[in-house]
A and B are shown apart, each in its own frame.
Chain A
C-alpha cells in the first residue's frame, strides 16, 4: 500500500535534492540529442547518451492532469490534489497543488502554475506548485 513517505536520495539523485533545498528545480538535457527528461538519471533515455547536463527550470508549469484524493490519510485535513504538471521545459512531474481550493472548479486543466519549495525534513524539500501569481486561475 502506498503511503506518503520521504524520498531517500541515491548517489545519482542527491544533486537534485540538494538543489530543491536551495530552492532550485532541475530537469536534465542531453548533449547529443537535446532530449529533456525527468526524473534524473545519468544518461539520456531518448538516445542512450551519457552526457547530460542539469537544466535549471523557470518554475513555471501548467496543470496537465490530476485527481482529488478523498482517501485522506490519518491526520490529513481533507481531500487533496495529486497532480501531474507539465514543466515549461517539457517533462511531466508529479506534485501537489497548494494555495487554492482542492476542487475541480478551482483547478481547470492547463491553468498556469508556479513552483513553491516545501521543506519536509532537514534534508528533503519537495517541489510543489500553486496557481501562478500573474494568472487569474481561469486557465492560461
Chain B
C-alpha cells in the first residue's frame, strides 16, 4: 500500500434523515457541516478549503462564515462528493489549503429551498431525448438494464435480490428509512415504476445531508477522532445522454475510475474488506461489482445470490442498506462515504459493523449512469 493521500478527520450526517419539511436545502448543508466540525473539534474559522455540489460554494462560504483559499464546485451528479475527496486530497498535497470541508444537503423529498435539475429544450438532451417523455432518472438511468439482463441471463428475481440482501444490512441501522425484512416476491409485487424496475428496486427520495473534513495525513493525529486514510481515488465521465453509453453491459466510467483508484492505492481486489456501490437502482451494484474487477462480466448476480455481499459474506456491500433502503436525497454519494468512514472507524451499528475491516472501496455514480468517482479508504 502507498502512503495516504489525505485523511478524513471529521464525518457526520445531518442530525435527522428522512422527511424534513422544516429544513431548507441550505440548512441541511449547514447542519451536516456543523455536525462534522463538532465531530473533530473545529469551528468554521479552521476551514480553508470547501467543496460542494448542488449548492453554490460561495453561498456555503457566506452562510457558514468560511474564507477559503481553495474551492471546488464540481457537480457531476451523485458521485460529485467522491471527486471532491480526490480533489481535496490533491489540493492539500499541493499546499493550496490545509483543512477541507465537503458538504452535501438535499431536500429531495420535501423540496424546501431545492435547486431543481432542469434540461433546456435546446440542449442535446432536450432535443434528442425529452421529446420521448422520459420522466425521471428511473426511465433513463435504467435504460441499459434489459440489454445487460439479456446478455448475461440476469432475471427480474436477480434485480429484486439486490434489494433483499441490502435490506438485511439496513435492518441493523436505526436511521435507515426502510428496515423491515423483505422477500424477492414482495419486491416483485411492489408498484411498477418503469419495467423491469419496481419501486423497491429504485432508490428512496428523502431529505438529508452529510459532511466530511479532510486534512494532511501527518496532521490527522491532532484530532480527537480516529483518522480514516484516503489511499486511492479515481474519477471519470463518459456521457450525460444514456444513448452515448458505448457498452450497455459495462460502464466505462466505472472501469476507468476504479482502475485509477486501485492503481493509486497499490492494492489488489482481494485486499478489500468492505464495499459501497452507489445503488441508485438495483442494477448498479451488478455493474459495479464487475467493472471494479471483483467478479468477471456476468458473474455479479450469482455472486450476490451466493451470499458473498450479505451479512457474514466475504465482501460485505452497501452495509447501510444503500440508496434503496437507507437514504437517498438525489445525490447519494455522501451517504456511501459516511458509511465507509463508520466502517473504517469501527463505529457502524452493531450487526452492520464488519469485523476487522481495514480497507473500504466506495464507488459513486452520477448523471444518467455516465459519471463515476472511486474512493479507497483505509483504517489507521
Footprint of B on A, CB under 8 Å? 1-10, 13, 17, 38-39, 64-71, 73, 76, 79-80, 82-84, 91-96, 104, 109, 120, 124, 126, 128
Q: Which of B131, B133, B136, B197 contacts A124 (CB 8 A)?
A: B131
Closest A-B pairs by Cβ, 6 of them: A4-B133, A7-B127, A68-B195, A67-B194, A65-B147, A8-B122
- Bound form: Cα–Cα A71–B241 in Å: 20
Which residues of the other chain, B, contact A69 by a CB distance below 8 angstroms?
133-135, 139, 194
Contact B132 A66 (CB under 8 A): no
Contact A65 B134 (CB under 8 A): no
Cβ distance A108 to chain B, nearest Cβ, rounded Å: 9
Instruction: Please tell me if B228 contacts chain A, counting CB pairs below 8 Å.
Output: no
Cβ distance B205 to chain A, nearest Cβ, rounded Å: 11
Contact B193 A70 (CB under 8 A): yes
Footprint of A on B, CB under 8 Å? 116-117, 119-122, 124, 126-136, 138-140, 142-147, 150, 191-197, 241-244, 248
Q: Which of A7, A65, A109 contacts B143 (CB 8 A)?
A: A65
Which residues of the other chain, A, contact B131 by a CB distance below 8 angstroms?
4-7, 120, 124, 126
Contact A8 B133 (CB under 8 A): no
Which residues of the other chain, B, contact A91 by a CB distance below 8 angstroms?
243
- Bound form: Cα–Cα A64–B241 in Å: 15
Q: Which of A13, A67, A83, A124 contacts B196 (CB 8 A)?
A: A67
Interchain residue pairs with CB less than 8 A apart (18):
A3-B130, A7-B121, A39-B124, A66-B143, A66-B146, A67-B143, A67-B196, A69-B139, A69-B194, A70-B191, A71-B138, A79-B195, A84-B243, A91-B243, A92-B243, A94-B129, A95-B132, A109-B150
Which residues of the other chain, B, contact A73 by a CB distance below 8 angstroms?
133, 135
Q: Which residue of A lies closest to B150 (CB)?
A: A109
Which residues of the other chain, A, contact B116 by a CB distance below 8 angstroms?
1
Q: Which residue of A lies closest to B191 (CB)?
A: A70
Chain A's interface: helix, strand, loop or mixed, by majority?
loop
- Bound form: Cα–Cα A9–B131 in Å: 13
Contact A7 B197 (CB under 8 A): no
Q: Which residue of A lies closest to B156 (CB)?
A: A104
Q: Which of A10, A39, A71, A93 contacts B136 (CB 8 A)?
A: A71
Which residues of the other chain, B, contact A70 by a CB distance below 8 angstroms?
191-195
- Bound form: Cα–Cα A3–B119 in Å: 9
Which residues of the other chain, B, contact A6 by a CB distance below 8 angstroms?
121, 131
Q: Which residue of B lies closest to A71 (CB)?
A: B135
Q: Which of A3, A68, A95 contacts B135 (CB 8 A)?
A: A3
Which residues of the other chain, A, contact B146 by a CB distance below 8 angstroms?
65-67, 109
Contact A71 B194 (CB under 8 A): yes
- Bound form: Cα–Cα A13–B123 in Å: 10
Which residues of the other chain, A, contact B242 by a CB distance below 8 angstroms?
84, 94
Question: Which of B120, B144, B194 has the most chain A CB atoms closer than 10 A to its own CB?
Answer: B194
Q: Which residue of B lies closest to A13 (CB)?
A: B127
Cβ distance B313 to chain A, nearest Cβ, rounded Å: 30
- Bound form: Cα–Cα A67–B192 in Å: 11
Which residues of the other chain, A, contact B193 by a CB distance below 8 angstroms?
70-71
Q: A65-B146, A69-B194, A109-B147 are in contact. Are A7 and B128 (CB under 8 A)?
A: yes
Cβ distance A70 to chain B, nearest Cβ, rounded Å: 5
- Bound form: Cα–Cα A82–B127 in Å: 15
- Bound form: Cα–Cα A82–B143 in Å: 8
- Bound form: Cα–Cα A68–B195 in Å: 5
Contact B134 A82 (CB under 8 A): yes
Which residues of the other chain, A, contact B133 by a CB distance below 8 angstroms?
3-4, 69, 73, 76, 80, 82, 96
Which residues of the other chain, B, contact A67 by a CB distance below 8 angstroms?
138-139, 142-143, 145-146, 194-197
Which residues of the other chain, A, contact B150 by a CB distance below 8 angstroms?
109
Q: Which of A39, A65, A66, A68 contacts B128 (CB 8 A)?
A: A39
Which residues of the other chain, B, contact A95 by a CB distance below 8 angstroms?
132
Which residues of the other chain, A, contact B132 by a CB distance below 8 angstroms?
4, 82-83, 94-96, 126, 128
